[in-house]
Amino acid sequence: MATNYPEEITKIIAKLNEKNPYYVPIGGLLLILVLDYFLIMQFQLANIRTLNPKVATLSQDLKTARTNITQTDRYKSELKKLSEERQQLNFKIKTKEEVPLIMESLSRIAQKSGVLLDQITPEQASQDVVLKNNDGQYLAIPIRIDARSSYHSLGRFINQLEREEEFFRVASLSIVGNSQDVIQHSINLVISAIIFEKAN
């Protein structure tokens, strides 16, 4: 004889309902919660698990962005400082048209140091390009100096060159003794001066 399961279940529910009318709604609610967990929640939890690495990456990116935003003022300050330093350096560098002023400056330093100049000649044909940009180019122009000096005066002269606002560098130096004057020696000195030539 075939068992009719729906009728059996209905009878059981009716008996339970007679004893306590809250069993059926509570059982139905529990059944809904179990089905929700196994069918719907598992799918949502799987999606959340796949999102976790992306959330971690986004969190790290957000942290980096916040750090960069707080550093912006410092970057602006450093950029302003570098810009001011560049302007000061450009102010110190003479242009190609100001080579005579460089010669005057060298003559003044030599006289102040006790170096007797015989000849001072810029060798513009031998100039080298140090740096080139959109504004123009920076050139190193050799200036040959023939002079007479003691060691002490020559030392003062070279020391003063390094303290000057213009950019000077001693490229070569030779000293030849003078048999007729043991104090004043013949000095052959080549100084490299940095100048700026504007772009045409």
The pLDDT tens digits of the residues spanning 163-185 come to 776 677 888 888 888 777 778 88
| DSSP 3-state of 168 | strand
pLDDT band at 111 (very low <50, low <70, confident <90, very high): very high
Residue 81, number of CB atoms within 10 A of its CB: 10
Query: Which one has a higher pLDDT value, 184 or 37?
Result: 184
Task: Provide CB contacts within 8 A for 181, sequence distance 6+.
Answer: 148
Residues forming a β-bridge with 11 = none
pLDDT above 70 as % of the chain: 72
Residues forming a β-bridge with 175 = 187
Mean pLDDT of the residues in the chain: 78
User: 86-106: per-residue pLDDT in tens?
Assistant: 666 666 677 778 888 888 988
pLDDT band at 29 (very low <50, low <70, confident <90, very high): confident
Lowest pLDDT segment from 4-13, 100-109, 150-159: 4-13
Mean pLDDT to the nearest integer, 33-54:
67
- Identify the pLDDT of residue 146: 93
pTM of the model: 0.53
pLDDT band at 1 (very low <50, low <70, confident <90, very high): very low
Residues forming a β-bridge with 145 = 120, 189
- Identify the pLDDT of residue 48: 67
Query: Which one has a higher pLDDT value, 108 or 27?
Result: 108
Task: Report whether pLDDT(139) > 90.
Answer: no
pLDDT band at 66 (very low <50, low <70, confident <90, very high): confident
Task: Show the tokens assigned to 186.
Answer: 């013949």
How far apart are alpha carbons 137 and 170 in whole angstroms? 21
